[in-house]
Structure 1
């Protein structure tokens, strides 16, 4: 029963604390107008190749609806982090591209994650870090596989 309580605390409380700290770091890092969810959109756009940056493909990668992505992309374009452009051959397709400001925000966000991971790993022995990583892989596989939850 204690393991269930610890896992529940991690999945609920610690997850929310992580998001809160991420939002605080984003704001303190010079991006107070961006949320962690908007950073996820920017990160996904930055990681996409020119052939895989349509709104549909980005929405699928983020596991959000096209409408949700459209609203986020409009807001991020207004803020200067993304650019939307119509496909030259099929005007129904909208491609998303990061601006220089978007790429800088993404680099900041990646560095935040590197520092956070380093800080967590400093608290663990190599054996604990290995066991923790294996457990997280198992948990991630559970949540990434569709099916009864």
Structure 2
């Protein structure tokens, strides 16, 4: 096993875990202390879905690669916490759409701010050529994950 292989493997595992830990810690403000990172990612999907009219339970579950049952449990919890609300579709009463509340939108903005700070810090540490290589490497990681996803 080459030194580069070991470094890349160690880096990917550690960075993935550290991003999740740091991302969750960034939410642990007084206002959002009761959110898990999984719940935050569902709120993020609800906010995105509400903007594109892809905010039914099945569309959100699919985007998060979780089961409908898991999403239902999470939405029930988030609704009780005041982050999301369900509404019947005005055109098709059989369809229920999920929307963020003001509190949910605020949590999503805090979460987006974390992502912005992280990306900005990475970009400011590299020149244009290094950024191009970094993007190329990340694209290879994404392609691998897309090719190997099980859901």
Q: Give the TM-score taking structure 1 as reference length.
A: 0.88
What SS does structure 2 have at the residue aligned with 1:104? Answer: helix
Distance 1:126 1:44, change over 3 A: same
Instruction: Select between 21-30 and 98-107 the one with higher mean Cα deviation.
Output: 21-30
Residue in 1 that maps onto 2:10: 9
Map 1:17-56 onto structure 2 (within 5 A).
17-28=18-29, 30-48=31-49, 49=51, 51-56=53-58
- In the TM superposition, residue 28 of structure 1 has moved relative to its aligned partner by 3.2
- In the TM superposition, residue 45 of structure 1 has moved relative to its aligned partner by 0.8
Taking the aligned partners of 2:23 and 2:149, their CA distance within structure 1 comes to 30
Residue in 1 that maps onto 2:62: 60
Instruction: Select between 24-33 and 139-148 the one with higher mean Cα deviation.
Output: 139-148
Structure 2 unaligned segments of length 5 or more: list them. none
Residue in 1 that maps onto 2:105: 103
Count of residue pairs brought into register by the alignment: 147
Structure 1 unaligned segments of length 5 or more: list them. none
Taking the aligned partners of 1:51 and 1:121, their CA distance within structure 2 comes to 32
What SS does structure 2 have at the residue aligned with 1:28? Answer: coil
- In the TM superposition, residue 85 of structure 1 has moved relative to its aligned partner by 2.8
Q: Give the TM-score taking structure 2 as reference length.
A: 0.87
1:117 to 116, 119, 127: 119
Moved over 6 A (4+): none
Does 2:130 correspond to 1:128? yes
What SS does structure 2 have at the residue aligned with 1:145? Answer: helix
Instruction: Select between 43-52 and 72-81 the one with higher mean Cα deviation.
Output: 43-52
What SS does structure 1 have at the residue aligned with 2:33? Answer: coil
